[in-house]
Each structure stands twice: as structure tokens, then as C-alpha cells.
Structure 1
Amino acid sequence: MTETDTRRRFVGRWSLLSSLAAATPEVRLLVLTQLAFNVGFFMVLPYLSVYLFEDLGLRAAFVGAVLGLRTFSQQGLFFVGGSLADRWGVKPVVLTGCVCRILGFAGLALFTSVPGIVVATVLTGFAGALFSPAVESALATAAGGTEDGGRSRVDAFALFNVCGQIGSFAGPLVGSVLLLADFSAACLSAAGVFVAIMLAHLRWLPSGPGVHATDSWRDGWREVLGNRPFLLFAAAMSTQLVAYNQLYLLLPLEVERAWGSQSPLGWFFALSSVFVVAAQLPITKRAHTHAALPLGLAVMAVGFAVMAVAVPAQPRGIPGLIPPAAFVLLLALGQMIAMPVARDAIARMASGRRLGTYYGVFASIGGAAVLLGSVAVGALIDAVPSTGWPLAAPWCAVGALLTGSALTVRVVFPARRRDEATD
């Protein structure tokens, strides 16, 4: 039996380790990069607000501004990082992002002044804006161009999601242990993680000039922003990010009401992570065509419908936690169905060109949608009465948004043939 045959036999088992073993070295490096990125990032960020507010005694308004600045410097600037990857090449952009994140975390460990905290926070966010679209574009290229022992783009992005979830789950646990020493220890350890990532990419990530190094910025953005089907697709799919953000807005409010505190939230996030790690690869094996896009959005909408029916009854105690648990699982299931296919669809719409810019613009549109959606949902929460059926209004609104997106994707982007989606 040849090495290729052996790898293909492993692929059929659809476990994380066998999928990693079957991947090409570049794909394996990139998906493990996502795991390490999330470990380092979540060692610090979940604890930053408490550190700034309680340990440093900063005002809540300033803490909120710092967190918002970090989100904007990352999510809002993804298109910049993607454009740089197209011009400079993936490797220098990823390495620059690692340097920014190292300096950002070191700054949070060493500085307690307001200017120092602001600069460190911006560096931490901008680092993600640099390396995230670069890594996604590199993964799309590496997976889409592999034959023997490689993964298709959809499968590679499914593996990417699994590794990211492992990092998101492990990072806060590691950070909580390091916090037994102090916050600086967590920050410096996270900086060390990114030093290791930087050295690994310096050694193993292939080098090469940017595919569009000689093109002007204007030409690149004109091409991407002139692709109307892509922009419509990005707008439609941004609703899944708005829906996911309700894990941090609507869900905590409902858990607080049902249980009397937010202590079960950690268990819900753990449940979601374990579900993704266990189920993503088998689900993608079955849901890997274009038809998965509206299906995934519809499944997420069902999760919001469950909450819209349950919330007005206001169950308490353990019965009150059952609908939120179903919501978390349905939200994760919908994302597992839709998002690997969505990331493959981006590469197809781009025709393999300017992938960094396409992935960056896609993420930035999602970030803008989250900002607008959070404001709208928050205003709706404030506007409706706190008892009875009006409590269902925010859940219905996001569910309707997802349903509209599912219909848009289904009508405007009709399902492709199975062989076309997996060529």
C-alpha cells in the first residue's frame, strides 16, 4: 500500500488526528497555527476587562472604549491585512502580525499608564487584522491546489474551525491558571506563545512574493468591491456573525434571569466547543456542497425560534437552562454546516485572485454587521417590556434576519452540483 493510499484510508475515519495526518504539511501548519493563535489570544483577552477595571481601577467607560478599540483595530481593519497579504505575500504579513501581538501582550504586562494600555491594545488587535486573512487565504490556496493526501478547501476549513475551537477552549483555562500568579504572567506567557508561532512560520511557512505585488491598492479594492455577487454574499452571511454575537449579549441576560447568575455560561461555552470538536468533521463530510449555506443559516434561525418560544414563559432553574442549551447547540450546528462551505465559496467567487483582500473584506463586513446588529438588538432589549411575549422580540428579530439571509443565499446563489462543489 502506498503512502497516499494509507493517508486516504486515514481520511475515511474522520477523526481529528487522522485528518491532521492526512493533510499536507502546509495545511497542517496553518490549521495548527489557528489553534496556537487562539490559545495565546484567549489566555489574556477574557480577563482584560476585569484587570483594567478592578486591578488598575480604571473607569468602566474607559474599559469599554479600550475593548471597542481592540475590536475595531482587528475586525475593522481585516481588509488592510488581506490587501497586504496579496501585495507582500503571506509570510511577511503573518510574521509582522506575530511581532505586533508579541509587543501588544508585552505592553499589557509592563505598562499601567493609559497611553501604554491604548497602544498595546491597538497592537494586539491590529495583529489579528494582519495574520487572520493572510492565513485564511494561504489555507484556501494550499488546500485548493492539493491532490495527493491533501484536503479540499471545505474540509481544510472544517479542520481549521476544529483547531480554532480547541484553542478557544484551552486558552482561558491556561490563562486562569497563570492568573494565580498575576495578569502580567498570563500576558508574557501569551507573548511567548506568539514567539513560538513566529519561529515556526519563519522556519516552515513557504516564502514567495505577493501575487499582486505590482498592482496598485486602488486596482485591488476596485476589483473586490466591484464584485457585486461577492458583496451580496458577504452581507447575507454576515448575519451568522450577528447571531453568534448573541452568545455575549442575549444569552447572558437569559441565563441570568433563569438561574439568578451567569455562572452556567462557562458550561455553555464548553458545551459548544466540545460539540464542534466532536462533530465538525463528520458534519462536513455530509454537508460540503453549496446547499449547506442556506441549511446552516436555517438551523441557526431554529435556535432563535426555540428561545423566542421559551423566553416568554420565563422558566427558572434547570428547566430554564434547557432552551439556552438547545440554542447554543443549534447555533454551533448551523455554523458547522455553513461556514466551511462559505469560506470555500469566497475563494470560488474570487476565482483564486486577491484571496487575502476577499477574505479581509468578508471579515470586515461581518464586523460592521456585528456593530450595527449589537446596537439594534440592544435598543430592542431596552424598548420592550420585561415580561410576557415582548421578551421574544430580540430573538425573533435575529431569527428573521437569519431566515432572510437563508432565502437570499438559496435564491441568489442556487445550489451547485456535488461534483462542482468538490472538484
Structure 2
Amino acid sequence: MTLDGFRRLSPAARLLVINQFGINVGFYMLLPFLAAHMTGLGYGAAMIGLVLGIRNLSQQGMFLVGGTASDRLGCRPMIIAGCALRVVSFGLFGVFTSLPGLVAAAVLTGLAGALFNPAVRTYLMHEAGDRRAEAFAVFNVFAHAGTLVGPLLGAALLALDFRLIALVACVAFAVLTLAQIVVLPRREHGPQQHSVLGSWREVFANRRFLMFTLALSAYFGLYNQLYLMLPLEAQRVSGLTEAVAAVFVVSTVVGIALQVRITQWCRRRWSAGRSVSIGLACMGASFLPLLLSSPLLDAPAAGEPGWGVVALACVPVLLTTVVFTIGMAITNPFAMELLPIVGSERLAGTYYGFYYLVSSLVAAAVSWVVGALLDVAGEAPIRWVPWLALLVVGLLGGAGAALLERRGLLDRAGEPARDQGKETRR
């Protein structure tokens, strides 16, 4: 089904999908091993956390700027510039060992992501026409595949030299940049009616978009737990660091195998708004197995635990991972379809950028709160509290999306759409 969906895409959309696979291969080939590389260089955990935090902040903080630039300069130049900048930034990771050099590489890596992430999604949105959810489903499958291949390739190269990882990643992004220059068609973008500040004021004044963004920020708040709470719990109950890899493998395989089928199934039965609402609720409900089992499962005693014990202890984590990934697969393509509807196709990049900026800030806050709850709960019987908090986040996000759907605010004829100007209705 994925191949059928891929063949239905336009040539430009196919390139964007392949491009996302390559971007994820290059990114996950290097970033997961950066901490180990810096440890080998003699840096402590605080400095490693600083570099990784700066990379994240530089990307999140510039999402709105990158999205606005794609509206005004065109998506194609921003995609090309972002990939070219990744060539430079990943090269710096391989060349520099000093803290200023690593910080510079981190800043440029984040800026590159802020340039091409909104631009890629805006271009694909325009290119997909009335099959946006299906196009983003295929897009997600290729992204998942890149997320799976990247770390495997990086681990193999790390056995030789981290600088080799940086070199191969640079080559991958250079090939992508060249392919986009040669193959990716230019898209016409009309003149903007307002200044940059005027465009931002339009976004801030769009109340239904702000409500939609607040509801959907639950998606990113929960998505971050794939890298925080689920790996921590897998390692805690199994006593093995290898169990962390199982979480990512299961999530990636489920995403690759089921994403397109889930999107098609939802399309036949539900509206886009209802799919988003159910998907968010599903992501929240996925933490129920851990809410029930976490207080009952202690960390294994010192010594090598038996594989039977490990497998049994990991069942709730892996069950949560499967249901969680299904919830993501339901939510994401339809959220991408709805964004230009509750926002504006004329300013799609700006709306995408603002959406990702707000969502990333909410995700950071949710992760901090859940982490603090985990520290307080510890190994006590109240260890279920963090999982309850995540369940509530998902249910609140789903309820918010359901309320917008019930009020008709996720339709093109929604009340705030008339405030967007004539250009929006064309």
C-alpha cells in the first residue's frame, strides 16, 4: 500500500518524500552518537546537555522565521538552503573538538532544520492537493524508515571513527541538496499582502488556529516521551540498556507497516477532525498499561536477569509503544491536512512555523513536568503518577480537538476563515 501511495504522488512530492528519508538517515546517523563522541573527548554531562539543548533551542526558536521565509522567498530555496547548511554543520561536528566549535555546529544544525522543516511540509501540502493526509502518511513512512536506517548505519561507522559518520552524513546531505537543485520544480508564490509583522499578527489573531495549536500541542508533548519516559521505563524494568533499542525498533516497524493502512482506514470512516481527536486520545490511553504495571514491577536485582523475566517485564512497555505509535499514525497526517484549513494556504509556511514553535515549547514543558513527577515518585507505590499525567495530556488534547470539530471550526466554512481575507477563499 505504501508503494501504491508513493506512485500516486507527483514527481515533486516523491522527491520530497525521498528527501525526508535521506534527511532522517543523515540526522539519526550522527545525532544519537554525538553524546558518546563528546564523552570520548572528555566533556561532562553538563556540557553535552548544553550542546544538545542549544541545537534544540536554535531549531525551535527559528521555526516561525523559517516558515515565514518559505512564504516570502519560496519553499524550494529554503529546502535547498537547509540541506546545504546541514552539510556545513555536520562537517563542523567532524572537524571541531573544542566547545565553541561544537556549539557553532549545533546552532547551524538547528537552524538548518528550522529552514527546511516548515518548507518541506508547506511544499508537500500544496503539491498533494486534496490527498494531503495520504501524502503525509507516505511521508511519515519514509521518515520512519530513515529513522531506522540512520542509527544502524551510524553504529556501524562509529566502530571505525566518529569523523567517518560526519563525512558520510555530509555526503548524504550534499547529494540531497544537489538533487533538489536539479530536480525539485520551482513553485510560484504570490506577493504577500502584509509585512512580516502583519503576517504574524494575522496568525496571532486567528483564534481557531490558536485553539487548534493548543489542542495539537498535546501530540508533541506525548511524542517526546518516545525518547524520554518509554526508554527509561524499558531500561528500569529490564535492567538492560539494550531494551531501549527495542522501543525504537517496535515504534519504527509499526509506523512503516501500518501508517498508510491506518490513514486509509480512518479516511473511509471519520472526518479529519475526528481522526485527530481519536488519535490524541489513543496516544494518551496507550499509557494505561504502564499506569497499571509500573508500581508492580521493580527494577531487577543485581546480576544478569533471565531473558524470560526481561521479556515479561517489557510487555507493558512494548504494548504501550505499539498503541502509542498507532495513535501517532492516526493523528499526524490529518493534523497536517487541517493546518492550512484552520490557518491559511497563502501563509501556510508561517502557520506551520508557529504551530511547531508553540508545540515544541509545550513539549518541553510536558517533558519537564513528567520528569519532575518521575523524580518525586521514584520507586514508590505512586510511580503511576507520571503515566496518569501523560494519559490526561492525551485526553485533554483529544477533547480539545473534538470540541473544535463539534463547533465546526475544523471545516473550511468555519467562522474565523472569513477573517483571513479574500486570498484565503480563492
Counterpart secondary structure, 1:58:
coil
Quote how far apart the aligned CAs of 1:414 are. 2.5
Determine if contact 1:312/1:391 at 8 Å carries over to the other structure: yes
Give the match for residue 254 of structure 2.
275
Give the match for residue 391 of structure 2.
399
Q: Tell me which moved more, 355-364 or 308-317.
A: 308-317
| Residue from 209, 212, 223 that aligns with 1:233 | 212
Provide TM-score, normalisation by structure 2: 0.90
Quote how far apart the aligned CAs of 1:262 are. 2.2
Q: Note if 1:132 corresponds to 2:147.
A: no
Q: Tell me which moved more, 199-208 or 335-344.
A: 199-208
Identical amino acids, percent of aligned pairs: 36
Counterpart secondary structure, 2:242:
coil
Letter of the 1:120 partner, please give it: A
Which residues of 2 match residues 140-289 of structure 1 at below 5 A? 140-144=125-129, 152-208=131-187, 210-212=189-191, 215-288=194-267, 289=271
Alignment partners' CA distance in 1, 2:113 and 2:378: 39
Q: Note if 1:52 corresponds to 2:46.
A: no
Q: Note if 1:293 corresponds to 2:276.
A: yes
Quote how far apart the aligned CAs of 1:261 are. 2.1
Counterpart secondary structure, 2:186:
coil
Counterpart secondary structure, 2:223:
helix
Determine if contact 1:178/1:186 at 8 Å carries over to the other structure: yes
Letter of the 1:63 partner, please give it: I
Q: Which runs of 5 or more structure 2 residues have no equivalent in the other structure?
A: 299-308, 414-426
Determine if contact 2:5/2:135 at 8 Å carries over to the other structure: no
Alpha-carbon distance change, 236 to 418 in structure 1, aligned in 2, over 3 angstroms? closer
Alignment partners' CA distance in 1, 2:384 and 2:257: 31
Give the match for residue 413 of structure 1.
405
Determine if contact 1:86/1:212 at 8 Å carries over to the other structure: no
Quote how far apart the aligned CAs of 1:211 are. 3.3
Alignment partners' CA distance in 1, 2:56 and 2:296: 35
Counterpart secondary structure, 1:352:
coil
Alignment partners' CA distance in 2, 1:253 and 1:155: 33
Letter of the 2:161 partner, please give it: D
Q: Tell me which moved more, 213-222 or 115-124.
A: 213-222
Determine if contact 1:86/1:210 at 8 Å carries over to the other structure: yes
Letter of the 2:129 partner, please give it: G
Counterpart secondary structure, 1:287:
helix
Q: Note if 1:18 corresponds to 2:11.
A: no
Quote how far apart the aligned CAs of 1:404 are. 1.1
Q: Note if 1:28 corresponds to 2:21.
A: no
Equivalent residue pairs, number: 399
Letter of the 1:266 partner, please give it: A
Q: Which runs of 5 or more structure 1 residues have no equivalent in the other structure?
A: 1-14, 146-151
CA RMSD of aligned residues (A): 1.9
Alpha-carbon distance change, 377 to 258 in structure 1, aligned in 2, over 3 angstroms? same
| Residue from 382, 386, 389 that aligns with 2:379 | 386
Counterpart secondary structure, 1:369:
helix
Quote how far apart the aligned CAs of 1:336 are. 0.5
Determine if contact 1:89/1:211 at 8 Å carries over to the other structure: no
Letter of the 1:86 partner, please give it: D
Counterpart secondary structure, 1:353:
coil
Give the match for residue 330 of structure 1.
323
Quote how far apart the aligned CAs of 1:233 are. 0.8
The CA deviation string for residues 39-80 of structure 1, in whole angstroms up to 9 with x for no partner, is 111110000011011x21112111100000001111232111
Alpha-carbon distance change, 64 to 286 in structure 1, aligned in 2, over 3 angstroms? same
